[in-house]
Amino acid sequence: MKRDPFLIEGPTCLSFSGGRTSAFMLHRALEANDGLPDEAVVCFANTGKEEEATLRFVQDCSEKWAVPITWVEYRAPASYAVVDFETASREGEPFEALMRHRGLIPNPMSRFCTQELKIRSMARLLKDRGMVETVGAGEFFSWVGIRADEPRRAAKIDRSRTPLVTAGIGAQDVGAFWKAQPFDLGLPNMNGKTMHGNCDLCFLKPAAQVAALIAEKPSRAVWWARMEREIPTLGRTTAQGSVFRMDRASYAAMATTAEDQGDMFDPDEEAIACFCGD
């Protein structure tokens, strides 16, 4: 008899990104374990750049499923704070504090934002709770909401940390689950993907997707453009200022041409794999 991949054995951190997939993973874990075991903790790492609907969804899951979800935020230079729905940052404060402390902005080759804002902030919480001995990234047992139909992302993360992959669960399964629920994430579901999820204009998202999000709501680009303008980055400073990515226009430039730039980028470009999950 095969072991249920959603059974929790030993200290475990369920990383809840605030998306439908990781919420589905949490629900399956609650079913398999008849609730949340004492040795498990559900963590939501808030960067301050999530959509308001994401924050509301995290709170709804906690309340409607009667499961404690610990909200953590990075604090410079190497600490964290426990917050909640009411006190969570909403203007990118943790993310900005990290970049100003480092004196640079992240990029696809140096994604220290993921390491510090999410992985290490959760690890610091777990260390204080006696669940891990060190704060080193990857040194604690975490579950990430990556599906079986995301092979490229799954390949970059140990399969033992992706129970949805082990169970063969794909976007259709997740979609069917949420259609049957009395509540849902208040963000568009496009063929099983939530393009508005995680950091609103994350530089790991495809350019066409970022462009569409800016066109939908131009104010989304303001914070990102300000970071590129105010935080100089050695080796990646152009005439437009510092940039999160050298292979595409700056956020300020994309905001200026938001109405037309949907045709400027490859619509089939894939998002770069990240720990965040969905």
Contact 16, 27 (CB under 8 A): no
Report pLDDT for 57.
98
Cα separations (Å) of 33 from 6, 153, 164? 8, 26, 16
Report pLDDT for 116.
95
Residue 259 lies in a domain: no
DSSP output for 159-224: GGG-HHHHTT--HHHHHHHHHTSS---SS--BTTB-TT-SSTT-TTS-HHHHHHHHHH-TTHHHHH
Residue 82 lies in a domain: yes
Residue 235 confidence class, pLDDT cut points 50, 70, 90: very low
State the Cα–Cα distance between residues 27 and 35, nearest whole angstrom: 9
The owner of tokens 């914070």 is: 223
Amino acid letter, residue 123: A
Residue 109 lies in a domain: yes
Residue 266 lies in a domain: no
Residue 137 lies in a domain: yes
Does 77 sit behind a cis peptide bond, omega within 30 degrees of 0 on the bond before it?
Answer: yes
Range of the domain at 68: 12-179
> In angstroms, how far is the first alpha carbon of the chain from the final one?
30
CATH of the domain at 95: 3.40.50
Contact 47, 94 (CB under 8 A): yes
Residue 237 lies in a domain: no
pLDDT in tens, 85-135: 999 999 999 999 999 999 889 999 989 999 999 999 999 999 999 888 877
The owner of tokens 């998002």 is: 271
Residue 142 lies in a domain: yes
Work out the mean pLDDT of the chain and round it to a whole number: 87
Report pLDDT for 238.
56
Residue 80 confidence class, pLDDT cut points 50, 70, 90: very high
Residue 123 lies in a domain: yes
Domain count, the chain: 1
| Interval 182-186 mean pLDDT | 97
pLDDT in tens, 28-58: 999 999 999 999 999 999 999 999 999 999 9
